[in-house]
Amino acid sequence: MKLFDVYPLFPIEPVKAQGSWLWTDDGKKYLDLYGGHAVISIGHNHPHWVAALKNQLDRISFYSNSVKNSLQEKLAEKLGAVSGYPDYSLFLCNSGAEANENALKLASFVTGKKKIIAFKKAFHGRTSGAVASTDNPKIVAPFNAGHDIVFLPLNDEASFISAINQDVAAIIIEGIQGVGGIQMVTDSFFQLLSKKCKEAGALLILDEVQSGYGRTGKFFAHQFSGIRPDLITIAKGMGNGFPVGGVLIAPEIKPWSGMLGTTFGGNYLACAAALAVLEVIETENLMANAHTIGHLLSDGLKKFSLFKNVRGQGLMIGFDLPETHINLRNDLLFQHHIFTGEAKPNVVRLLPSLALSKEEALLFLHSLTQAL
């Protein structure tokens, strides 16, 4: 059997990884400033994370969500404390798309409505239809039975005010748009969404799948604006490479038996990985590091007059390349052995480990000068 050919692949195969570095079979070493789409939060193969997974493998790796699992409770408690949401509840799943599906479904269940407001250039994942084609009315929310989604321009207060009304179940918005090219949401726009959602009885869903988990210097990007969303979705950096996702759910939202469900979500290995990630974020002060090294990188990038609109927060950084330098990412990879990310058509995205060191950041800036 061949692989279904859907991914454009670089002809490079990493076989070993540690911290911010990857190695290929022939011993070549690459600096990773992309973390496989923002997944590597505490650094590749962090020893504490490896030990936690090995320790769990020696005990039990899987049973279904039909038995008590105190690792899930431990994870929820730790996540509540580190994120600043101790009064919220946690639903565990396996990916960012699943987290968003569950959040949309929850909003639709709670409000009994199906209309969703989303934003232009948003990316929330690649699932749909699984619930809609399931023949069990108990798990099909109105939203699942017929999508009704309107896309508005980001940060456009007037168009939002005219779109929000009593028919809306939820607004879904990223903390910072990632795949859309590192587009920042203004504090005043977040505050307006929060206020108008309350007035209209709609739920505010903050997709922090890419921008969360300490990447911006705060645990969640939306925390710079002081709002408290009804639902917050997480994945990517949560497991540092072990697939795990979740939804943080405001205390006003009450569960009922069977409301949500999953086979693999919250399995022992995923919980062990996710707990280890939070422990390392705390003990190694990685949010402070993301803030400091993020500033160093952004300030350094702003000195290159060639790069337009250097933007972002902490270690979620984007900048625009001019048409004349569209090959820069390939040059960095093949000549300087540095992985970066992109957003179409010409944005370079940096999403390194939150443990990126000053030396590694300076090495990147130096290599950029050489590449140019």
Footprint on this chain of ligand PLP (rule: CB under 6 A): 37, 95-97, 100, 123-125, 174, 178-179, 207, 209-210, 235
Residue from 343, 324, 338 nearest 366 by CA: 338
Q: Which is nearer to ligand PLP, 354 or 368 (CB)?
A: 354
Q: Is the peptide bond before 345 cis (omega within 30 degrees of 0)?
A: yes
Helix 286-302, helix 268-283: angle, nearest 10: 70
Closest distance between ligand PLP and the C-beta of residue 232, in Å?
Answer: 12
Q: Which is nearer to ligand PLP, 127 or 369 (CB)?
A: 127
Closest distance between ligand PLP and the C-beta of residue 197, in Å?
Answer: 19
Closest distance between ligand PLP and the C-beta of residue 26, in Å?
Answer: 30
Residue from 138, 159, 144 nearest 114 by CA: 144
Q: Which is nearer to ligand PLP, 113 or 124 (CB)?
A: 124
Question: Can you tell me the distance from the alpha carbon of 287 to that of 82, in angstroms, rounded to the nearest whole number?
Answer: 11
Minimal CB distance residue for ligand PLP: 96
Alpha helices in 146-186 (DSSP H): 157-163
Closest distance between ligand PLP and the C-beta of residue 121, in Å?
Answer: 11
Question: Can you tell me the distance from the alpha carbon of 61 to that of 175, in angstroms, rounded to the nearest whole number?
Answer: 33
Query: What tokens does 297 get?
Result: 């990188």
Q: Which is nearer to ligand PLP, 37 or 336 (CB)?
A: 37
Question: Can you tell me the distance from the alpha carbon of 288 to that of 4, in angstroms, rounded to the nearest whole number?
Answer: 41
- DSSP 8-state symbol, 205: E
Question: Can you tell me the distance from the alpha carbon of 78 to that of 131, in angstroms, rounded to the nearest whole number?
Answer: 31
Closest distance between ligand PLP and the C-beta of residue 55, in Å?
Answer: 26
Q: Which is nearer to ligand PLP, 39 or 110 (CB)?
A: 39
- N-term to C-term CA, the chain: 43
Closest distance between ligand PLP and the C-beta of residue 270, in Å?
Answer: 13
Q: Which is nearer to ligand PLP, 333 or 351 (CB)?
A: 351
